Amino acid sequence: MQIAAWQALSTHGDIATNLARLDESARRAAAEGAALLITPEMFLTGYVLGDDTRPLAQAAPLERAREIAARHAIGLVVGGPEIESGACYNAAHLIGADGQVLARYHKAHLFGDVDRDQFNAGDRPTCVADYHGVRIALMICYDVEFPESVRAAARQGAELICVPTAQMQPFAHVNQRLIPTRAWESQVYVAYTNQHGREAAFDYVGHSLIVAPNGEPLAEAPSAGEALIHAEVDPAVVAAGRVANPYLDDLRQELFNL
């Protein structure tokens, strides 16, 4: 399966503009052969929302994102605030090419005051769903920086981990060093899709990337500017990597309280 990661800066609070840009990016990605387009963290609304978080969650942009997926016959990973049972979450959704929601994930590891002031923490380390013959796990930004999260996804059979992110300065080393390590240590593809530019007090580092199970980047975006990058994801490569580097089989899980 070919996937595309779209590095972009969402427009704060302007759902209509963000959806229009998503529509064009989905059209382009589908035309270039991608079966799945991954967008940055909270792209539908912007990330630093403050008092606007709940009103924007209630604007229900997800339904319109589903229409975009179906119109261009491409899967989407998109995110924004979501209210459930009175709590407000930083959410990401995997939408199929027919517009159906295949997976919904709430960010479990909240980063600093920017997350804690806006969101409740999710209660699952990841979620996993099948799409186009690939087992896909969802995480959001800070989640992937914990090796336990990625290992949990791999133990559930994940072959691709999609990570919408809003990674900012001074943490560019996460993109450059930690993400390839996460792919290698659990033998999974990782698509790490970042915002770029500036939002509120944050300078986003860009440098979105798609990494193979051997830790080698397959596609990388620059540190500045919008970019659409592509790579092929092959479950056979994951299976071969796990035979050659059997971390999952050799891990003595009984030694750890995980």
Catalytic center residues: 41, 107, 141
- Reduced to 3 states (helix: H, G, I; strand: E, B; else coil), residue 15 is helix
Helices (H), 89-129: 112-116
- Reduced to 3 states (helix: H, G, I; strand: E, B; else coil), residue 114 is helix
Q: How many CA atoms lie within 13 A of 154 on its CB side?
A: 25
Structure tokens at 105: 């994930």
Distance of alpha carbon 34 from alpha carbon 100, whole angstroms:
18
Q: Is 150 exposed, middle or buried (0-12, 13-18, 19+ CB in 10 A)?
A: buried
Distance of alpha carbon 31 from alpha carbon 25, whole angstroms:
10
CB 118 within 8 A of CB 53: yes
Among residues 93, 94, 76, 73, the alpha carbon closest in space to that of 31 is found at 73
Strands (E), 96-223: 101-106, 127-131, 134-138, 160-165, 189-194, 196-199, 202-205, 209-211, 217-220
The length of the chain in residues reads 258
